[in-house]
A and B are shown apart, each in its own frame.
Chain A
Amino acid sequence: MTETDGFPKATIEEIERDLLLEGIVRRYGYDFRQYAEASLERRIERAVESEDAPSISALQDVILRDPMAMQRFIATLSIHVTSMFRDPEFYASFRKQIVPLLNTYPFLRIWIAGCATGEEVYSLAILLEETGLLARSRIYATDISDEIIQYAKDGVIPLEKMQDYTRNYQLAGGTAEFSSYYTASHDKAMINRKLLENVTFSTHNLVTDSSFGEFHVIFCRNVMIYFNQHLQERVMHLFRDSLSSLGFLGLGSKESIFPMNFRDEYKEMAEGTRLFRART
């Protein structure tokens, strides 16, 4: 194999990955070709192992012919282990700086893009409940994976984990007994159904789907880390189109900001919070 710049030319695995992703977009319409390379590689490897395939090509064979295998693959690509009130400072800042502004709105439309297993949705619902905003809010929680949306909809978290989240909740500025928001049953905690009354869960693909409305607040936290720069820019444009005037955007604590004119379009509510307000 000849080398350029001290690195080998495309390996077989690289070729197989490209062919797999091409096959998937042509067969199913899901486009993962602009996902971030390093994490995508890792997840494809995981899918190869879990399907017991001898190679990525063999995985492609299974996926192209079996729609259930495709669903499993989507779920593998969507693995995202999070917690309630992850980065409590984010929620504390939201509560302190943004809630007072939202208070002046008669109704609120909120989009949680990439809600995964639901922790962020439940956290926000609790925060809005405590600040008197939940009744006037409509929350739209979306994710690419139908399996994960069903899970989020159920509102069930392992009890042990839920108890760990108490500290996060407190650091985020929570004012009640955290345990008042869920019912414990055996080893499970069930989020109070009332908290989710104003939440609509549905599938949505940030890569291929267009805007589905205007929102006062959009959260997309630790989702675009899985997209390459081009795709991230595209999604940022989608959010710009989906934000109402002077709307708010919330990102993950270690995410980068693209496109380059982001600073012209948004101002950060406080340095490092990753909470932004559109300038117009």
Chain B
Amino acid sequence: MTVPVVCIGGSTGSVDILKSILSELEPTRPFATIMVVHRGEQSSSMLTEKLRANDKRPVVEPCDKDKIECGGLYLAPPGYHLLISRHAFSLSTEGADKYSRPSINVLFESAAKAFGPKATAIVLSGQNDDGAKGAAKIHACGGTVIIQDPETAIAPSMPEQAKLRVAVATIVSPANIPLALRQIS
């Protein structure tokens, strides 16, 4: 059985928002949460530790070919692009896309192709336009795009660029993101 995916991408200013989204996720959520935060090639496990959810469900940096589990919380490891196919994660060592490896576009684009309407993309605060192209692809393949209101973002350009590419996206303040996720079944 394939599981719907919620793919979240962010850069500067996104970590605290991610932490609060994770803390409000329902334990019975019927989807997998997959996150890409721009990080250096040698980034330590501090980020994973920082994002650990309150319900003691660990945030995992998936290995290549790990299965995507319902309710799972996943964070793209440093130095690789994270892709998904219908059941499993896949890693790549192609060049940095939009200044980062992991790239948000790469995750979103693979999610769009493999999950179509069952993919949700969330674009958070960040300093460049990574994620905009990917969000457009998610939308084109029938998925849902949610964007952090740029006015609430420490670094507004990432959500702004995404907004330009996906005019019909839902724009929400960070506090309202968990509510939007409860609509997913």
Is residue A29 within 8 Å, beta carbon to beta carbon, of the partner chain? no
Chain A interface size, as a band, is 20 to 34
Which of A38-46, A140-148, A235-243 binds B?
A38-46
Q: Which residues of B contact A87 (CB under 8 A)?
A: 79
Minimum C-beta distance from B99 to chain A (A): 13
Task: Tell me whether B61 and A254 are in contact (CB under 8 A).
Answer: yes
Contacts from B to A (Cβ < 8 Å): 1-2, 41-42, 61-66, 77, 79-80, 83-86, 90-96, 101, 106, 109-110, 113-114, 116-118
For residue A260, CB closer than 8 A to chain B, the reply is no
Besides the contacts A41-B110, A83-B41, A226-B92, what 7 more A-B pairs have beta carbons closer than 8 Å? A38-B85, A42-B94, A42-B110, A79-B95, A225-B64, A254-B61, A254-B80
CB neighbours (8 Å) of A79 from chain B are: 94-95
Contact among A38, A232, A254 with B114 in the assembled complex (CB-CB below 8 Å):
A38
Residues of B within 8 A of A82 (CB): 93
Residues of B near A36 (CB, < 8 A) are 65, 85, 90
- Report A124-166 CB contacts with B as 1/0, cut-off 8 Å: 0000000000000000000000000000000000000000000
Interface residue? A200 (CB, 8 A): no
CB pairs A–B below 8 angstroms (9 shown): A6-B117, A38-B92, A42-B94, A81-B93, A86-B41, A232-B65, A254-B61, A254-B64, A256-B65
CB of A5 within 8 Å of the partner chain: yes
A254 contacts B63, C-beta separation under 8 Å: yes
Q: Closest residue to B115 on the A side, CB-wise?
A: A7
- Given A6-B118, A38-B90, answer yes or no on A86-B79 (Cβ-Cβ < 8 Å): yes
Point out the residues of chain B lying under 8 angstroms from A83, CB to CB. 41
CA distance A41 to B94 in the complex (A): 13
> Is A61 located at the chain interface by the 8 A CB criterion?
no
Partner of B90, one of A6, A7, A8, A225: A225
Given contacts A254-B61, A255-B64, contact A39 B95 (CB under 8 A): no
In Å, the complex CA distance between A7 and B86 comes to 10
Report how far A254 CA is from B117 CA in the complex, Å: 29
**A5 to B94 alpha-carbon distance, docked (Å):** 32
**For residue B91, which residues in chain A have a CB less than 8 angstroms away from its CB?**
222, 225, 254-255
